[in-house]
Amino acid sequence: MSSNKIDMDISTIVTPDLISLDLKSRTKLGVIEELTDLLYKHQDVSDKQAFIRDVLFRETEGLTGIGQGVAIPHGKSPAVSHTTIAIGLSKFPIEWESLDSEPVTAVILFAVRDRDSNTLHLKLLQKVAMLLADDGFIDRLHKVSSKEELIELLK
């Protein structure tokens, strides 16, 4: 598939209320819970505990810390009503199993409806992967100072 076919604009999926620029938790589980709270308040997740359980199950299947201070945990779950992502940034390093064995400060949590698992989820993941392949994007991600700036960065 050529990159031209991935025309999804993530900035249309992520709204300011799905972003935390100041994660309070300093643990992996705490961050997943904190971002799940955003998804729940936005009505993208109907059952927080079920979704968190599904995310943690996926975490047992492989590393979601992709290096350079970024993690992309995700859960495919019947508790998800709308496939979307929540993004959290931390001023403190969070211990996370990652490819470079370094902690993370940026977490992009994917919430995937069961029925979207082979379509929208893959397009969303591909688009995020393309962005994260750009070192300049990662540098800017870590330096974002407003939700609007982060949404603009995703365009």
Burial string for 102-118 (b: 16+ CB within 10 Å, else e) reads ebbbbbbbbbbbeebee
How high is the mean pLDDT in each 10-residue block of the chain (155 residues)? 51 90 97 98 96 94 93 94 94 95 96 74 80 92 95 90
Please report the pLDDT score of residue 2 as a whole number.
Answer: 35
Please report the pLDDT score of residue 86 as a whole number.
Answer: 97
| pTM confidence score | 0.90
Domains and CATH numbers, the chain: 16-150 (3.40.930.10)
